[in-house]
A and B are shown apart, each in its own frame.
Chain A
Amino acid sequence: MSKQYETVIGLEVHVELATRTKIFCSCSTEFGGAPNTHTCPVCTGMPGSLPVLNRQVVEYAAAVGLATNCTINQYCKFDRKNYFYPDNPQNYQISQLYEPICRNGYVEIDTPSGPKKIGIHEIHMEEDAGKLIHDEWEDCSLVDFNRSGVPLIEIVSEPDMRNADEVIAYLDKLRLIIQYLGASDCKLQEGSMRADVNLSVREAGSSKLGTRTEMKNLNSFKAIARAIEGERERQIELLEMGKAVVQETRRWDDNKEASHAMRSKEDAQDYRYFPEPDLPPVVISDEWLQEIRARQPELRSEKLIRYKKEFDIPDYDAQIITGSKKLADLFEATTAICKKPKKVSNWLMVETMHLMKEHGMEPEDLRFSPENLAALIDLTDAGTINSSVAKDVFEKVFLENVDPERYVDEHGLKMVSNEGELRSVIEQVMAANPQSVEDYRSGKEKAMGFLVGQTMRAMKGKANPAMVNQILKELL
């Protein structure tokens, strides 16, 4: 490669909003119902049916807009995007083209050369389509309209990103903001967050944008990173060979680590957008906007500062814990009960992380309650159980959310600190292991550890370790 190239990337991110009901009717958005059970005349496009806008969708969209420094369009409108496809019951999608709800925002990401602003061109509200299921056996396709009308927002960035790391940082930032707002769970794998990558390359130093392609079907951060690398190389190769990049939509195949063209600009459809006549403009009054603003929860950057100040936990821990809304919620709720932030942080940072990794879980999958973690911490602190028992009990809490006090009681796991009892067990251990006793006395310090271990074993792990050490030393 003789020339230096710069990659220019913009993102279109679709986020499924966590409303209880659909955007234009009162059907449930719940996932996993039997096909076509969460449907009505509106979301199946029956003749004569009319859409009614769900206020919660406006509030979530505006909340995301406010959190991403957008200007809120207080007089926004819906438009119809016309195209024929069987998963689209009306053969038009109600979306926003001319007057989207949010415009001109940005989020800040961290890059090796310092913080960088990624511009947000607009955020608009729209409805999701149904799902097509191809029946190979009958050689026909079936439509499930349960997803039809589930609310989405589309966040369109400016072409401000230059590499995969920036894209991932931007997506991570969006994901966190939206999770913190409670507007969506933003799971890439499950499709509640979907990103299309618009990418072009140009010679370094050029101010003119190259021809871009749009990459679809990116289901994980890893796939996004690989697709960006692959598409960058493909485009540079074309340019080096003196060929032109064709403006087209491409589909990424993560198994093959390659993409193929889906449709070019020439066969791009004319969506014949026009204002949706069934919905009046959405007027967001100053009062309503103020209400939405007032309800904005504390976002990550604010939490990070507060954690370090209020709870005095290390920056590293605060970063990890606030990196997930779920972890942050757990941390705060548990701390509120037991008032021991550092211990809570330790349990989350060490044992929780360890078990999550072991079970291949995400923070969102955590099911134990703050009450039970707090109780476990209290049991340990009070000396009711020793630390090795605590780890075992925590695993039970982690997996089954058991009540630790009851569990310790039922399984007789309380720490034994009765000196007489300990002394007699240790004497038995010493009697059974004369060689080790001899070794210690002749200066082999290691033998001490062995004897402690044997004592613990005899006590089924429940012995007070400090007292065992003390008595052993005394007897030796």
Chain B
Amino acid sequence: MTDPLGWLDILSRLFIQLWPVWAGLIVMFTVSITYKRRLGLYGKLFDSVVGMIGFALVMFWVFAALFADMIITHDPLAQFSGMRNAAPGTPLRDPAGGYEFFLLGGDALARDVFSRMVMGAREVLRIAPFAAMISFMIGISLGLPAGYIGGKLDTGLTFVANLVLAFPVILLFFLLVAPEIQNTAIPRVMAGILFLMPVLFFTVLLNARFFTQPMKRNLYVGAVLVVGLWAYTGLAFNADPLGVWGMSPNLLNVFVAVVFVNAPTVFRIVRGITMDIKTRDYVAAAQTRGEGPWYIMLWEILPNARGPLIVDFCLRIGYTTILLGTLGFFGLGVAPESPDWGSTINQGRRLLTVYPHAALAPALALMSLVLGLNLLADGLREESLKD
């Protein structure tokens, strides 16, 4: 039997175990810094220290999620005898040829905390950016016409958005993410409406640009419709004939709830920016040229609103991560064995005062990811204001 590791040993072993992440970060940063003058806003990010730190934190977790299979030391779901609540650096009783230590200790079910934390990154990064993206497309496709056309449409959409925003988020989660709800049609119907938005968005986007060149238009719009509707049937109704796209009812429920909470805020932001930009001269010029309203909204206003929207997108991924953690913390809509950070914190909190490591590791992981996203947003904001 080997001795338990000291803190210095644990840290150096963690460092070695995470080598794919360091390799990825080094390659990424060298390439980006070398070519930063040719990379637009992304390149300018490397002029700001805050932005770089944020970007490094985010990419750390992205690489950790990508290379999770190489990084983990044990199966995140497997239980090992004698490792219940083991302290960080405890050697395994019977390694059987595998890794000899639990680097960050074991949890209450004798699973490896480190491997679960790394796998948790994969769970979170699989949902959060995707959910933020869908929220953005919904917010944009509704916010642009509300701000540009105004009138009754604006009043109606704003009322609905305020209605959703007046709901305390936590209450919405308790009501919407429950086993009883999963058996009803509500998540499917909501998913049917929410997931249709991105398809519509891209169709209108391309149609508004290329309707003067029917050949190109038919090609692009056709491609979007085929891929979009294929993904749509799979994601929203789990009816993909080829079985490539699909979501478990659990995941769909969580996804719909998170998108539902985020979309109205994006809507308000887009609407505000649109109302500001539509008074500019280039919009008036486009109107005089006789461009259609959707062309003006999507190809004149939207590109000029990108600065604040990109910044908010980073913040929104962070907020979505926090929301997913909240859901996990209350045990809502997650698979029982899931290694995602929220539910790991929830399981760890019962023995928090005695064995804090099981909850502390995912908590710090979640914090560093969100902090990275917020710093990244701050750096982007600063750099985009310099133009």
Q: Do A and B come from one complex?
A: no
